[in-house]
Amino acid sequence: MATRAAHKRLTREYQNIQKTPPPFIVAHPSETNILEINKVALHFDRPPKTPYENGQYWGTLIFPPEYPFAPPAIRMHTPSGRFQPSTRLCLSISDFHPKSFNPAWEVSTILIGLLSFMTSEEMTTGSVSASESERRLLAARSRWWNSTGGGSHSGVSAGVTATSKGINNIKAGDGGLKFRTEWTETDQENWKWMKDNRIDTATGQIIPDPNSLAVNNCSPETSAFRRRPVGSGPRLGAVMEGGQVAREAGQSWIRRHKFLVVLAVIFGYALVTRLYQDIQG
């Protein structure tokens, strides 16, 4: 339960965020617990130009009762190639480093710091490394992943309602129920987007248009779906078969055939050595 000081401070800061939202960030507190920001979303539908462009990433900030004298726990749930989904992040603005937290920092400061860290390459507990191609593929699939729980929507029992229980450990497999609970309007927009772009909700693949034999011009996000194999998972490693294709497409011939190059170098060296010995003999 929040202390009176924490409740007053967070209420004021949330009001300021509504009046002046941080760029590319949407944040709302939980309706039942002011210490919990269930609704944190990082939208890259505008500049800056990053591998996360057109991505939709959501997460949670859990503030301690003694805030602002202690920092929040920070988790991002959407696979991005930058964070381990639903894993506490070790940042100077998170609960991993309470002694380095400055009470003058506000919620908006924390959110901007999170966005800045995401667009950097600094590594810490809870972060992962990935290529730009891999991150772009995950960005293209982020709206599908959020609203379907990684393709598990069809397996959700009818009438099941998501609750805030387990909100800190959101994985693929819930059919997107937790996202739908926190982001009802955004979820509806995502489903319309999937329908308009003929995205298979189970696989995340584009469903071919039976009425058209021509290749349709589509957005960069939906184009990325064509490069993905069937199947997906909540972590980066589960979606990297398509990323491997993207990586190889951008690699040089030498890098993709380095084994043959090494053999050629060894053979050439042996040949030159033999010729030199014959000349000396």
* Catalytic residue positions, numbered: 90
Report in angstroms the alpha-carbon separations of 11 from 7, 17, 101, 202: 6, 10, 20, 40
- Integer-rounded Cα Rg, in Å, for the chain is 24
Question: Dihedrals φ, ψ of 78, to 5°?
Answer: -75, 130
Q: Determine which helix (DSSP H) or strand (DSSP E) holds 28, and give its type and residue range.
A: strand 25-28
Using DSSP's 3-state secondary structure scheme, residue 113 falls into: helix
Using DSSP's 3-state secondary structure scheme, residue 15 falls into: helix
CA-closest candidate to residue 58, choices 168, 221, 216: 168
**Residue whose structure tokens are 């293209």:** 140
Extended strands (E) in 45-149 = 56-62, 73-76
What would the two tokens of residue 47 be? 């500049």
CA-closest candidate to residue 204, choices 196, 194, 190, 191: 194
Rounded (5°) CA angle 159-161-164 = 170
**Residue whose structure tokens are 């319309």:** 192
CA dihedral of residues 130, 146, 40, 163 (deg, nearest 10): -130
The answer to whether 124 and 211 are in contact (CB under 8 A) is: no
